[in-house]
Structure 1
Amino acid sequence: MNKTFISFLVLFTTLNTFSQKYDFQIIKDIETTPVTAQQKTGTCWSFSSTSFLEAEIIRKTGASVDLSEMYTVRNIYMDKAENYVMRQGKAQFGEGGLNHDVINSVEKYGVTKQKEYSGKADPNAPYDHSLMLAELEDILKKVVEITPKKYPNWKADYNSILDKHMGKIEDIKPMNKERLLQEYKINLNDYITLTSFTHVPYHTKFILNIPDNFSNGYFHNITLDEFVQNIDNALDKGYTVALDCDVSESTFSSKTGIAVVPQNEADTAAIVTEIKPEKVITAEFRQAEFENYNTTDDHLMHIVGKARDQKGNIYYKVKNSWGKESGKDGYMFMSVPYLRLKAISVMLHTEALITKTKKTFGF
């Protein structure tokens, strides 16, 4: 074999090994409702969890139902306000929330369809809560400053702002939890939130201290390997998974639809378009990144499948709420290392748990 041919072969092999563009083969794709957009709002938690419930309805009944994300948002805004006032302003108030807030809201207020409540005063306008949020905060700061006794009508004023920006809900006849169970086979007690952190004993439940956990929801703590095993088990059995995740990394690319963790910093720019080696994520490194604020509670999405690249690496197909123009037609492909490092928590059906986790928490 001549030297010229050998050199060409080495060059071809090198390029083929280190510069391969992502080419995904879908290995699991669970039916869900179409991608929607939260637009100029911080309501990913409602879009993620509502999409999850819609997928559960499909799984249970085969029916595709478009539920109203903003009906839940509207009701949770009142819960947040009461929490803020009763804690005399020493509490989180903002647009954020978590998966369990949707479950809590459906339990308390019921749920309705998108066609019955769009959450827009102007049905042709995009969602934009920036002005509304400022007005709501003004009300709350005032009532805390002068006390509820001196501002007895604050709730009426607060609700009038919600009415102005989101539309009234007085005439809405929501589907309560009993009807949800009867018509769509959804039992709100069937869902559990899992996480994995080392500062709390494994196989216990606790209140995770992150800013958006205003409602003090419980998280069930398991090892990192068990955490991933439960996600995989759920998907393999046809259950989708609601996800709370950090998306602040430059390697979470809404442009290319890729979320990965490079082994080498030099690959940071290239890895969102080309397959590169990824970091091995341990529980200790995950914990350190959480405690130093490199991993934060940024964004909630919906895991609906799995894919494999041409090198055999596995990725989660994640439905986002940034519209179809984001990522790959509205979806992200998230590597296993990225999920191990950046997933704050997941919510799934208790039937989708692995046997070990079921026994641990009594399901």
Structure 2
Amino acid sequence: MKKTLVVALFALLALGANAADKKEGATSNKPVFTVVKQNPITSIKDQNRSGTCWDYSTLSYFEAEILKKTGKTYDLCESFVANKTYMDRAIQVVRLHGDCQFAQGGSAYDVLHTLETHGICPESAMPFPGSLYGDSLNNFNEFFSLLEPYVNSIARNKANKISGQWKQGLQGILDAYLGKCPETFTYEGKQYTPKSFAASLGLNWSDYVTITSYTHHPFYSQFAVEVQDNWRNPLSYNLPMDEMMRIIDNAVMNGYTVAWGGDVSEPGFTRKGLAYMVDGKKVESMKGSDMAHWLGLSAAKKKDIIDSLGVNVPEVVPTQQQRQDRFDNWELTDDHGMLIFGIAKDQNGKEYYMVKNSWGETGDYKGIWYMSKNFIAANTMDYMVNKNAIPKDIRKKMGL
């Protein structure tokens, strides 16, 4: 009995020591960030159950641009942009007889187009997101269950001729769920129209360009990135990957932010506020039974391993060819928009971009993500930036 008790005691001590070692290892691997450069941004918002990251991230970008240029803080209205954009998109789908996609997603250019064409209003000039249907935040489930079939039924109608009445019906649905866009409103004691308010913000809409990097089009040319939510077909400047990244660094270090669009479906993008471009082969070569079976693990288990490795996660160093291969084989997708506003280093000296999300104050950093430069280089679809933030030598090659 005594012998059994002694053995049991040693086993418990060993388990405790092992657990302590694991805890200590996880703690020591957790990133400790030092800010290199951090530019002012507006508050974190929550898109909730809506596919409007493009809207939230790009309005956040323009809010940061206004803040940089004028020092004024604005809360611009995402519902205004969504209302105008969904009508514009529906018109195109009908014109093409349904041979393009009607969906919740969009691009940074949709926001710029709205600002230029329709104007904008402050958040306070329209109903708060979700309030019209009894929710505290956006929930597009019911909204789009009506909107998509409505648009598709018009677009694929077998009639020889359709009337324009469908637009009034669609506008009714948009207004019922998003709120009616105001023709005039009062802001800080002054009356505006959406167009006069946009003009008062102090920005030059021609200052903004989009950047991408692929080899299926010539470098220093412009092309419309071939993704479904790029439905307006705006042109992006195509640059080598290293110059695409140089622009981001130069922008941040000179006080600008970047409206980023790219892929966050990779296992290295965690809900805790971190993103690494994980090298699966190197993970498999590391000690530990789970790591040895990396490719066969569930997404949740992979994220557990990434969390435990922390700053020691091995990363792929992206190449131009890898970017092209992943785009062509559908690995590199266009599924999220965010705002790059800073640069930070971890305790090992690795650099990350500080990125504002639109999922509320979630994760370990309350709505901010630290995304490694390798992750951004590998997963950027395109981004919008002020042309004045681009290094002069690159601007010259772009003809700007």
By the TM > 0.5 criterion, same fold? Answer: yes
**1:161 and 2:196 correspond:** no
2:124 maps to 1:107: no
Q: Is contact 1:204-1:220 (8 Å) kept?
A: yes
1:190-339 maps to which residues of 2 (within 5 A)?
Answer: 190-254=207-271, 256-263=272-279, 264-266=282-284, 268-269=302-303, 270-273=305-308, 274-276=310-312, 277-339=314-376
Q: Give the letter for the 1:234 counterpart.
A: A
Farther off after superposition, 119-128 or 317-326? 119-128
Instruction: Determine the structure 2 residue equivalent to 1:140.
Output: 151
Query: C-alpha displacement at 1:141, in angstroms?
Result: 2.1
Give the Å deviation of 1:151: 4.5
Kept in 2, the 8 Å contact 1:323–1:330? The answer is yes
Q: What is the letter of the counterpart of residue 209 of structure 1?
A: E
Q: Secondary structure in 2 aligned to 1:302?
A: strand
Q: TM-score, normalization: structure 2?
A: 0.82
- Aligned partners of 2:339 and 2:356 also within 8 Å: yes
Shift in CA distance, 249/158, structure 1 to aligned 2, threshold 3 Å = same
Instruction: Give the Å deviation of 1:286.
Output: 1.3
Residue 125 of structure 1 deviates from its aligned partner by 2.9
Maintained 8 Å contact 2:251/2:258: yes
- Greater alpha carbon shift after TM alignment, 324-333 vs 99-108: 324-333
| 1:55 aligned residue | 64
Counterpart CA distance in 2 for 1:187 and 1:288 is 36
Q: Deviations over 1:117-161 (max 9, x none)?
A: 235425753211121112112222221214483454111111111
CA distance in 2 between counterparts of 1:162 and 1:48 reads 21
Say if 1:258 and 1:334, in contact at 8 Å, map to a contact too. Answer: yes
Displacement after TM superposition at 1:311 (Å): 0.6
Q: Which runs of 5+ in 1 are unaligned?
A: 1-11
TM-score scaled to structure 1, two decimals?
0.90
CA contact (8 A) 1:143 1:151 kept: no
Which whole-Å CA distance do the structure 2 matches of 1:71 and 1:113 have between them?
9
Checking the alignment, whether the CA contact within 8 Å between 2:260 and 2:339 is kept in structure 1 is yes
Quote the Cα distance in structure 2 between the aligned partners of 1:142 and 1:151: 13
Q: Distance in 2 between matches of 1:175 and 1:113?
A: 11
Share of identical aligned residues, percent?
A: 33
Structure 2, unmatched stretches of 5+, are 1-20, 186-191, 285-290, 292-301
**Residue 161 of structure 2 aligns to a residue in which SS?**
helix
Distance 2:40 2:254 in 1: 13
Contact kept in structure 2, 1:259 and 1:272, CA below 8 Å:
no
Q: State how far apart, in whole Å, the 2-side matches of 1:172 and 1:40 are.
A: 29
Question: Radius of gyration: which is bigger?
Answer: 2
C-alpha displacement of 1:186: 0.5
Question: Alignment partner of 1:300: what SS?
Answer: strand
8 Å Cα contact 2:119-2:197 kept in structure 1: no
Bigger helix fraction: 2
- 1:180 is matched with 198
Who is 1:42 aligned against?
51
2:136 maps to 1:125? yes
Q: Does structure 1 conserve the Cα–Cα contact (< 8 Å) formed by 2:129 and 2:136?
A: no
- Contact 2:125–2:182 at 8 Å: present in 1 too? no
Q: 1:327 Cα deviation (Å)? A: 5.0
Aligned to 2:298: none
Question: What is the rounded CA distance, in whole Å, between the counterparts of 1:60 and 1:246 in structure 2?
Answer: 30
- 2-structure distance, mates of 1:202, 1:17: 43
Compute the displacement of 1:202 (Å).
0.6
Shift of 1:353: 0.3
Counterpart of 1:3 in structure 2 is none
Deviation at 1:61, TM superposition (A): 0.6
Pair 1:156–1:228, CA change in 2 (3 A): same
TM superposition shift of 1:176: 4.9
Q: Deviations over 1:64-90 (max 9, x none)?
A: 111001110110000010000000000
Looking at structure 2, the residues matched to 147 and 89 of structure 1 have their Cα atoms a distance apart, in angstroms, of: 14
Contact 1:260 1:272 in 2 (8 A): no
Distance of 1:51 and 1:241 partners within structure 2:
10
Contact 1:177 1:187 in 2 (8 A): no
Count of equivalent residues: 348
1:73 to 82, 94, 98: 82
> Is 1:240–1:302's contact at 8 Å kept on the other side of the alignment?
yes
For residue 284 of structure 1, report the CA deviation from its aligned partner: 0.6
Residues 306-350 of structure 1 show CA distances to partners (whole Å, capped at 9, x for unaligned) of 110001000000000011024520011000110010011111101
After superposition, what is the alpha-carbon deviation per residue over 1:4-35, rounded to whole angstroms, capped at 9, x for unaligned?
xxxxxxxx9xx989962211111111111010
Letter in 2 for 1:285: Q
Conservation of the 8 A alpha-carbon contact between 2:119 and 2:196: no
